[in-house]
Homo-oligomer: A and B are copies of this chain.
Amino acid sequence: MAVTIHDIAKRANVSPSTVSRVLSNSDRISEETKQRVRKIMDELGYYPHSVARSLVNKSTRTIGFFLPRVVEQVFNNPFMYEIIRGIGSVASRNNYDILITLGEGKKEEETLRSLVHGRKVDGLMLIAARVNDFAVDFLKNQKFPFVVVGRPLHNENSVNWVDNDNVDAAYQLTKHLIELGHRQIGFVGGPLAYVVTIDRCEGYKKAIREHGIAIRDDYLLETEFLEEGGYKAVVQLLNLKSPPTAVVLTDDLMAFGAVRALKDRRMKIPEDMALVSFNNIPTAQFASPPLTSIDVNSCELGKTGMEILLKEINHPAAATNRAIIPFELIKRRSSIGVSK
């Protein structure tokens, strides 16, 4: 069996509580005993039992990363990994671990309950706010510390969250196309169940309207955040009587699909159709043509989200926190072509 605090105590001729105090470096223990106890700990290869600690401390120093199945299917996306890396770097620095719970095959409520009431984690990170987000409502209701990476629709002021200004990002992206001379611009969004889709669509519409262009419903498409979704959407747009000359897609993977659809028909990008998208995943720059994309700064989203969560865990009384992470419009050949 592993060595416990009692084993140390016995060997050092002190009580377990003294050992515990040495562990927390209490200043009410003589330097001499500290030395002695520490030496024995080393000899015996002692390491505190984190579960036992958690039980009495009521803290696991672990935060949960919860991905309900619906979300995971939609966002099977490289940028998810970037977010985890961001979270991880802040977590690691603060001696927190990350518990990943995939809700696969289980009901969302069941999984959340096991995390929250089971006290497996001190707080939760949610990825992507949905329009009616069960997880947000549940956690809010339970007063459990959490942060959403993504602006929630209904609880913007009472929930901790971090996101880009997606309305503005879509606005800038669309404006970029308009400035290139496009007047017929399509919009391919993800599922409308996600707030991010709504925001980006709004930014798109705002840019269109501001430039005196009419909004065409047949230019507005909703699909999955996947390559296949982008493919289908572009095919549908191309089948219109007057197809758009440019398309805003809300994800790079979709844009990859769009590229494939256009290549299948021997059409040129951006000459026949310009493409712009979101996320700037690591391979967007290596696509053919390289994709104009909004860099959402995923790593920073994760980092800041984690910082907010730590604040919430340690000072639950404090005000609601939110953060807007700057994005960057990266112009590449899929919109501006080779000339420029």
Contact = CB atoms under 8 A, between A and B. Distances in A.
Given A2-B117, A283-B281, A286-B259, A92 B103 contact: yes
A215 to B, nearest CB: 30
A120 B289 CA distance: 47
B118 A106 contact: no
Nearest to A1: B58
A184 interface: no
A89 B105 CA distance: 9
Given A259-B286, A287-B287, A100 B88 contact: yes
Contacts of A98: 99-102
A211 interface: no
Interface stretch (A17-25, A26-34, A49-57): A49-57
B104 A88 contact: yes
B51 A55 contact: yes
A140 to B, nearest CB: 16
Contacts of A253: 282
A315 interface: no
Contacts of A260: 286
A118 B50 contact: yes
A332 interface: no
Interface in A68-92: 76, 78, 80-81, 84-85, 88-89, 91-92
B119 A92 contact: no
A76 to B, nearest CB: 8
Interface in A203-225: none
Interface in A146-170: none
A47 interface: yes
A51 B54 contact: yes
B105 A92 contact: yes
A241 interface: no
Nearest to A252: B283
Nearest to A62: B99
Contacts of A105: 92-93
Contacts of A48: 118
A113 interface: yes
A120 B51 contact: yes
A295 interface: no
A288 interface: yes
A60 interface: yes
Contacts of A102: 85, 88-89, 91-92, 98
A97 B97 contact: no
A134 B88 CA distance: 22
A256 interface: yes
Contacts of A118: 47-51
Given A2-B117, A45-B117, A98-B99, 4 more contacts: A88-B100, A93-B104, A97-B120, A283-B283
25 contacts: A47-B118, A49-B117, A50-B118, A51-B55, A51-B120, A55-B55, A62-B99, A76-B85, A78-B78, A81-B81, A88-B102, A89-B104, A91-B102, A92-B101, A92-B103, A92-B104, A92-B106, A93-B105, A97-B100, A98-B102, A99-B99, A99-B100, A281-B283, A283-B286, A286-B287
